[in-house]
């Protein structure tokens, strides 16, 4: 049977090669060599001068590099700094949350995730797993839809309307019979999340798996992440969700305090 996953590289190897070379170019800059000429980059990376020149023009159009008109040398642009700040901010959240999350794992007796946003998905910054027979873990760097996860609902409930509209426009696909797919019901759910200060997902992404999450705020008071407790429906359910929610909220407040809130 044909493997469709390998088709992208076969269809457009030129595009993939260009992306790879563009990333290599950006990575070639350093504090020791903050500025470089096209010739220097081509020689260093073993790429033709014409290829480097074309890629640098594209990177310059997007602001990722800036050319000094006198020396003709290039340096990294501000968007690269913005990316660094985003990564550094996420790493700070991980550092400040680690001790609290480890205690939460012991108190809740369930898996705990530290989550932030990546466009219309949730992105797992850190995960801590309890050793149960059930495999309920999520890997660091993994993504899931926002609308059917407790952490995603928390992050959406405190964001501006643009992100909510983007999530809805992408489609509320049913992952299980309990996934919320009605727009009006979904918006009502987000209102309830902001009112109660936590969100729950009861078998909305995976059957048999439930979770509860609370918002983490930075020094500005903005919700920048969420902490979620995840477990099987036998332990996290309508009877116990309030207890887990209280634990998640307490942990989120502690992490927020460490971030300066």
Question: What's the confidence (pLDDT) of residue 7?
Answer: 42
Residues 6+ apart with CB under 8 A from 28: 36, 41, 44, 45
Instruction: Give the model's confidence band at 256: pLDDT under 50 very low, under 70 low, under 90 confident, else very high.
Output: very high
* pLDDT of 194 above 90: yes
Question: What's the confidence (pLDDT) of residue 176?
Answer: 96
3-state secondary structure of 191: helix
* pLDDT of 100 above 60: yes
- Give the Å distances, CA to CA, from 216 to 123, 224, 251: 14, 6, 9
Instruction: Tell which residue, 224, 227, 230, has the closest CA to residue 206.
Output: 230
Question: What's the confidence (pLDDT) of residue 86?
Answer: 63
Which tens digit of pLDDT belongs to each residue from 203-218? Answer: 999 999 999 999 999 9
Instruction: Give the model's confidence band at 12: pLDDT under 50 very low, under 70 low, under 90 confident, else very high.
Output: low
Give dist(CA 218, CA 225) in Å, integer: 9
Domains in the chain (CATH in brackets) are 4-76 (1.10.10.10), 84-258 (3.30.450.40)
Asked if residues 105 and 130 have their Cβ atoms less than 8 Å apart, the reply is yes
Asked if residues 75 and 68 have their Cβ atoms less than 8 Å apart, the reply is yes
Question: What's the confidence (pLDDT) of residue 132?
Answer: 60
Counted residue by residue, the chain has a size of 261
Question: What's the confidence (pLDDT) of residue 141?
Answer: 76
- Give the Å distances, CA to CA, from 181 to 132, 168, 185, 220: 31, 9, 8, 33
Question: What's the confidence (pLDDT) of residue 84?
Answer: 61
Which tens digit of pLDDT belongs to each residue from 119-149? Answer: 889 989 888 887 665 555 577 778 899 999 9
pTM for this predicted structure: 0.69
Residues 6+ apart with CB under 8 A from 238: 202
């Amino acid at each position: 049977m044909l493997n469709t996953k390998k088709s992208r590289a076969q269809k457009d190897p030129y595009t993939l090669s260009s992306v790879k070379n563009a990333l290599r170019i950006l990575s070639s800059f350093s504090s020791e060599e903050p500025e470089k000429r096209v010739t220097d980059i081509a020689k260093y990376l073993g790429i033709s001068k014409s290829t480097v020149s074309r890629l640098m023009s594209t990177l310059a159009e997007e602001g990722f590099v800036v050319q000094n008109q006198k020396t003709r040398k290039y340096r990294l642009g501000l968007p690269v700094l913005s990316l660094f700040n985003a990564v550094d901010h996420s790493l700070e959240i991980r550092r400040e949350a680690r001790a609290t999350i480890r205690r939460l794992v012991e108190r809740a007796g369930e898996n705990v995730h530290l989550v932030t946003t990546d466009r219309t998905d949730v992105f797992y910054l850190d995960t801590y797993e309890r050793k149960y027979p059930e495999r309920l873990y999520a890997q660091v760097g993994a993504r899931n839809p926002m609308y059917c996860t407790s952490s995603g609902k928390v992050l959406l409930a405190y964001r501006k309307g643009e992100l909510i509209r983007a999530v809805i426009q992408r489609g509320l696909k049913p992952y299980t019979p309990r996934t919320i797919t009605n727009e009006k019901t979904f918006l009502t759910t987000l209102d309830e999340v902001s009112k109660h200060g936590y969100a729950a997902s009861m078998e909305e992404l995976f059957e048999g798996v439930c979770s509860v999450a609370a918002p983490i705020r930075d020094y500005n008071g903005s919700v920048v992440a969420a902490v979620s407790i995840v477990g099987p429906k036998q332990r996290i359910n309508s009877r116990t969700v309030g207890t887990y929610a209280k634990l998640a909220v307490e942990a989120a407040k502690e992490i927020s305090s460490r971030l300066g809130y």
